[in-house]
Amino acid sequence: MPKIVQRSVPDLKRGSVLDLDRLSWDDLRVFITAARHESFRKAANVAHVSAATVTRRIEILERQFGFRLFDRLPDGVRLTREGKWVLSAAQKMEQASVGLRRFLDQDVTTRGVIRCAVTEGLGTYWILPRLVDFNRANPYSVIDLDCTMNVTDVGRMEADVAIQIVRPTNLDLKVVKLGRFHIYPFAAPKYLETFGTPQSKADLARHRIIDQVSPQIAEGFLEKLIGLESIEGVVAVRTNASSAHFYAIEQGIGIGVLPTYAIPLGADVVPLVLGIRQEVDIWLTYHPDVREVPRVSLFIDWLRDIFDPAKYPWFRDEFIHPNELMGWQPKRPGATIEPARGVIAHPPRLDELAA
């Protein structure tokens, strides 16, 4: 039995009068996240706040309720009996908030937020440049773009939509295959000039490797892909960020694997013929109820369009060698598009938004 360590929850008084008007839904959402992850630190990562902020918000709730919500343990937190009751009630409030939003957020000409979680590489290099189009056509919709390799649970309202490379298993969610990207080995010209070009998988044992480690990448993925028992002796850089991983390869620090769409995006890298490639499916996930929120529904349709394999062949199921993609150019980010029906074509002034 782990030792329970109680700390930092002063002046709890059972039987105190609870003022429901003072309860903060933001505090309750932080509480729900902490309960699901059994950790204030993990809740902070999901909520994009500091662990100190999570602790402070939980303490505020505990003072308001007059009892502890969590037992503090050396390796995390655990709900108390009272905390479990509050979690059940808060989760019902969370589900009700979806219905309320569906009822209230019907006018796309009023300001509203769309929360999209996406893997860092796709979010940074593919979605973000094309948001110019969506933003101009939908000037009142604010995109909260969470570029993260953590798995986001849209069933628990951590985002409105999520684009991930791990297929969700929740049967209550709508799961759509957006496309597929193909992983291939690349190196920068200046790396090859310095260290030479490997001719086989076995040659990689004498080169420098760039490795990425993150929650949606299986442990040992790179070792299995390139056929080495261990890459510890050849790793030059290891990072959790897709952008750092890409930049390390492009700067010539070492050899690494990238999606083949790096070529049409203009990356200064050379594909290596080593008999190495891997397919990775791209999954769009959302709760069916958010389809009834017009601004989110427009965004979902836009996402499906910018990943359309018919327009962007590097997202097809079949592999296309990077050399064949040299002549392809994705649609110029920021090109003019027709606004969606009912949406103002020109961005409003700041004073109009304030009004």
112-179+281-354 and 180-280: identical CATH topology: yes
pLDDT at 158: 81
Question: Taking the domains of the chain in order of start, what are their residue ranges?
Answer: 20-95, 112-179+281-354, 180-280
End-to-end, the C-alpha distance of the chain in Å comes to 57
> Can you give the pLDDT at residue 24?
81
Q: What's the pLDDT at 7?
A: 44
Report strand pairing: 209-212 vs 256-259: unpaired
Per residue of the chain (355 residues), give pLDDT as tens: 444 444 444 444 554 555 556 778 788 888 988 998 899 988 888 777 888 999 999 999 999 999 999 999 988 899 999 999 999 888 888 777 766 676 666 777 888 999 999 999 999 999 999 999 999 999 999 999 999 888 888 877 788 999 999 898 888 889 999 999 999 999 999 999 999 999 999 999 999 999 999 888 888 889 888 888 888 889 999 999 999 999 999 999 999 999 999 999 999 999 999 999 999 999 999 988 888 899 999 999 999 999 999 999 999 999 999 999 987 766 544 433 333 333 333 344 334 434 4
The pTM of this model reads 0.72
The per-residue pLDDT for 352 is: 42
User: What class, spelled out in words, does domain 112-179+281-354 have in CATH?
Assistant: alpha beta
Domain 20-95 top-level CATH class: mainly alpha
Distance from C-alpha of 346 to C-alpha of 82, rounded to nearest angstrom: 52
Q: Which CATH number fits domain 180-280: 3.30.70.3270, 3.40.50.2300, 3.10.180.10, 3.40.190.10?
A: 3.40.190.10
Coil, strand or helix at 8: coil
**Selection from 106, 136, 75, 109 nearest residue 296 by Cα:** 106
Backbone angles phi, psi at 204, to 5 degrees: -65, -20
Q: In DSSP terms, which residues pair with 186 in a beta bridge?
A: 256, 271
Q: Which of 187, 231, 189, 233 minimizes the C-alpha distance to 212?
A: 231
Give the largest CA-CA distance in the chain.
Answer: 75
